[in-house]
Amino acid sequence: MAKTRRAIQNQTNRTLDRGDLGALLGFAATHSEQSVCRKARAYAGGLPIDIAQAKLDLNGPNAVSETVEDPTVIRFLKCFASPFTLILLALAAISYITNVVLAPSGEQDPTTVIIIAIMVLISGIIDFVQSSRGASAAAALLQMVTATTRVRRRPINFDDFEVLHTETPHDNAATDGASHTATDSASHTKSHAPTGTADTSGAGSSFDKEIPFADVVVGDLVLLASGDMVPADCRVLDAKDLFVNETALTGESEPVEKFPTVVHARRRADGTRYPLSLSECTNLLFAGTTVQSGSATAVVVATGDDTYVGRMSALL
């Protein structure tokens, strides 16, 4: 687990150096919540149950694809690839040459070679057994523990398909440029972000529901509080003193404060935008990070392999 975390952090650092945040997350960070919610097909008062199920059936569960496990023989051979084992094998080879091959007739003594070979074999077997038991225990633990998150849903209503934050000409103009100000974005979020359990569209009573991470879909309105783990990549719609621990991604121990305001990418002299870095995306929440304090309402923009962690895992 520690090796995997270090590998993800190293890959994250290399990715940030390239500025490769991804087009989807880049859009979510630099556009208004109107555009983001429209792109994610987020509904006022939360996704209707049937729409959420249809998205889940279409896109699959919110889970990062597991890497193909090596065959048993390969895993066993890898147990002998440690530096200490290689040193012992080198000593065994030297001992074989000096005590057997080059020794005078009748004075060959393979005892040292046999002892070293037995030590290497026992060490490899112990390492293989321990790693296999550890993997089995981890798999059993994952089956016993199911991570959940709180989302806002509403009953099926066939007469109402109003999408949250409908498109307006003003929004089109704003998303193509950098005309949004932090104040406008914050006030817009406060006026449109769902509050309580009332359906803001008037289509029926919405409700908060605890669901497994695997059932989260794009467009879900996620309700986060202190101690919660972020189930997927999300755009913040409303936040109150929100601080997120992103150590799993960046290795930085200090929590990062998140805001619902639009992020403005820096521009070059020719007018083109610099790629966004992870630290600049103060309005995005990334899967696997943890809310250290505060609360927030956020819309899911990417799940499973499309998340930042999912793309990093695919590159390892």
Please give the pLDDT value at position 265: 76
β-sheet bridge partners, residue 236: 298
Residue 56 and residue 77 in one domain? no
What is the pLDDT averaged over residues 18-28? 72
Residue 220 and residue 259 in one domain? yes
143 band by pLDDT with thresholds 50, 70 and 90: low
What is the pLDDT averaged over residues 170-185? 39
Residue 179 and residue 277 in one domain? yes
192 band by pLDDT with thresholds 50, 70 and 90: very low
Question: Which residues are CB-contacts of 235 (< 8 A; sequence separation ≥ 6)?
Answer: 28, 29, 33, 36, 283, 284, 285, 298, 299, 301
Pairing of strands 233-245, 148-154: unpaired
Contact 222, 231 (CB under 8 A): yes
- What is the tens place of the pLDDT at every residue in 255-296? 999 999 999 877 777 777 777 888 888 999 999 899 999 999
What type of residue is 305? Answer: D
User: What's the rounded Cα separation, in Å, for the pair 24 and 272?
Assistant: 18
Q: Count of domains in the chain?
A: 2
**Stretch among 12-21, 87-96, 147-156, 233-242 having the lowest mean pLDDT:** 12-21
Residue 114 and residue 258 in one domain? no
Please compute Rg for the chain using Cα positions: 27
**Which of 63-77, 83-97, 138-152 has maximum average pLDDT?**
83-97
- Per-residue burial over 76-103, b = 16 or more CB atoms within 10 Å of its CB, e = otherwise: beebbeeeebeebeeebeebbeebeeee
Pairing of strands 233-245, 290-302: antiparallel
**Of 95, 125, 143, which residue constitutes the final position of a domain?**
143
Residue 255 and residue 236 in one domain? yes
User: What's the rounded Cα separation, in Å, for the pair 237 and 183?
Assistant: 14
Please give the pLDDT value at position 315: 73
Residue 119 and residue 22 in one domain? no
Closest CA to 303 of 179, 215, 240, 229: 215
Instruction: Say which CATH number the domain at 186 has.
Output: 2.70.150.10
Measured torsion, CA atoms of residues 214, 216, 217, 220, in degrees rounded to the nearest 10: 180
User: What's the rounded Cα separation, in Å, for the pair 283 and 221?
Assistant: 15
> In the chain, pLDDT over 70 holds for what percent of residues?
75
pTM over 0.75? The answer is no
Residue 59 and residue 171 in one domain? yes
What is the pLDDT averaged over residues 161-165? 48
Residue 269 and residue 122 in one domain? no
- Residue 84: give the domain boundaries: 72-143
Q: Beta-strand (E) ranges in the chain?
A: 47-48, 148-154, 207-212, 221-224, 233-245, 256-257, 284-285, 290-302
Mean pLDDT of the chain: 79
pLDDT at 160 over 90: no
**Of 127, 143, 159, which residue constitutes the final position of a domain?**
143
**Stretch among 6-20, 116-130, 235-249 having the lowest mean pLDDT:** 6-20
**Of 108, 143, 178, which residue constitutes the final position of a domain?**
143
